[in-house]
Amino acid sequence: MQRRMFLKMAATLVGAFGVTGLPLPVQAALKRLDPRTIPKLIYLQGLSCSGCSISLLQSTSTSPLEMITDYSQLVFHTDLSATSGQQAMALIDDYINGNAGDYFLALEGSIPAAMPEACIIGHRPIADIIAQAAKTMSGAVAVGTCACDGGIPAAEGNPTGAVGLAEFLATKKINKPLIQIPGCSVHPDWLWQTIVHLVRVGMPELVNGAPKLFFQRTVHEQCPRYHDFQQEIYAKKLGDKGCLFKLGCLGPVARGDCPTRGWNGGQTWCIDCNAPCIACTSPSFARQKSQPFYRLTELNSQESSR
């Protein structure tokens, strides 16, 4: 990515999520940016549950107040925007038609490629809106597993042909900067700290399109119960302590730093609650009917055959 493009992207994202909390030299540099020229962020939802939007509101690494007062570049978000109806649609159109300056697209949710009528905003299929935006946007962030890989709307048996943003852009032969941040829901830090990385050292190194900083290693590799795994101390039933692998824990195929980062202020996460990881960051999350989240039935039959 060119430096100019990078700076634009960084400025957009920082504008959206706030300056406070960044290193002082970076804050100072950002303050020199002319607010009239900082590109804007348009946050749209496809086949989504709003869980990622709600998760972003749970951020504690920047306070909600900072998110509001330093949110000036979030020109549209359906859950927060005061505007509504035709006025809102006119604003979105203004940007995606290239009449309101540079902007980045943030997409939550997947795109119903086989049934465009399954997601409509203001009479227009989300697929058409994104195809139009792709011509004018500086780049895009895929927020959450649905936007990255299709997620549950793309699970086996789905009627809409849901796909993620990368696949959608590829089929339209559109090549624009894209950062993918998976998770069902996304962890607020994964998005926020990606922005910090962008500002300090540039485009983050990506693993399968996602920031390596968070997604290089699997949950299993970093799991505080790795010792239990090595010692073969396995949970036998739900609610047990020990390694949850035999209950179906998908930590070995899930990339993410949940074990060290924690959720909701860092105080908790799935395995800490004795709940097997369901690999919500994985491209194959929930994809196959034949691959359930848990293996309780299997374990029971092993027990009874002993």
Q: Considering only residues 102-141, where is the footprint of other proteins by CB under 8 A?
A: 112, 115, 117-122
Strand 162-163 relative to strand 111-112, pairing:
antiparallel
CB of 220 to other proteins, least distance (A): 15
Which member of 97, 135, 156, 302 binds other proteins (CB under 8 A)? 156
What are the backbone angles phi and psi of residue 161, rounded to the nearest 5°? 65, 40
Buried b (16+ CB within 10 A) or exposed e, 10-24: bbbbbbbbbbebbee
Residue 33 within binding range of other proteins, rule CB under 8 A: no
| Tokens (6 digits) for 20 | 């406070």
Residue 163 within binding range of other proteins, rule CB under 8 A: no
Residue 293 within binding range of other proteins, rule CB under 8 A: yes
| Tokens (6 digits) for 98 | 């290239």
Which member of 8, 17, 39, 55 binds other proteins (CB under 8 A)? 55
| Number of neighbouring beta carbons within 10 Å of residue 240 | 14
CA dihedral of residues 95, 98, 99, 104 (deg, nearest 10): 40
Which member of 57, 97, 205, 224 binds other proteins (CB under 8 A)? 57
Which member of 27, 61, 138, 274 binds other proteins (CB under 8 A)? 274
Residue 23 within binding range of other proteins, rule CB under 8 A: no
Scanning residues 200 to 239, which ones bind other proteins (CB under 8 A)? 237-239
Which member of 50, 208, 231, 302 binds other proteins (CB under 8 A)? 50
Residue 280 within binding range of other proteins, rule CB under 8 A: yes
Three-state SS annotation for 128-153? HHHHHHHHHCCEEEEECHHHHHCCHH
| Number of neighbouring beta carbons within 10 Å of residue 174 | 17
For tokens 């299993």, what's the residue?
A: 220
CB of 2 to other proteins, least distance (A): 25
Strand 210-211 relative to strand 206-207, pairing:
antiparallel
For tokens 């997409």, what's the residue?
A: 107
CB of 87 to other proteins, least distance (A): 6
Q: Which residues are catalytic?
A: 49, 52, 146, 184, 220, 223, 243, 249, 258, 270, 277, 280
3-state secondary structure (DSSP) of residue 26:
helix
3-state secondary structure (DSSP) of residue 47:
strand
| Tokens (6 digits) for 140 | 């895009």
CB of 92 to other proteins, least distance (A): 9
Residue 267 within binding range of other proteins, rule CB under 8 A: yes
Residue 52 within binding range of other proteins, rule CB under 8 A: yes
Nearest to other proteins of 234, 293 (CB atom): 293
Which member of 67, 106, 179, 210 binds other proteins (CB under 8 A)? 67
208: left (phi over 0), alpha (psi -120 to 50) or beta: left
Q: Count residues near other proteins (CB under 8 A).
A: 93
H/E run at residue 178: strand 178-181
Which member of 201, 273, 301, 304 binds other proteins (CB under 8 A)? 273
CB of 213 to other proteins, least distance (A): 20
50: DSSP letter: S
Residue 298 within binding range of other proteins, rule CB under 8 A: no
H/E run at residue 93: helix 85-96
Which member of 1, 23, 86, 170 binds other proteins (CB under 8 A)? 86
Residue 78 within binding range of other proteins, rule CB under 8 A: yes
Instruction: Mark the segment that binds other proteins (CB under 8 A) among 1-9, 71-79, 167-175, 192-200.
Output: 71-79
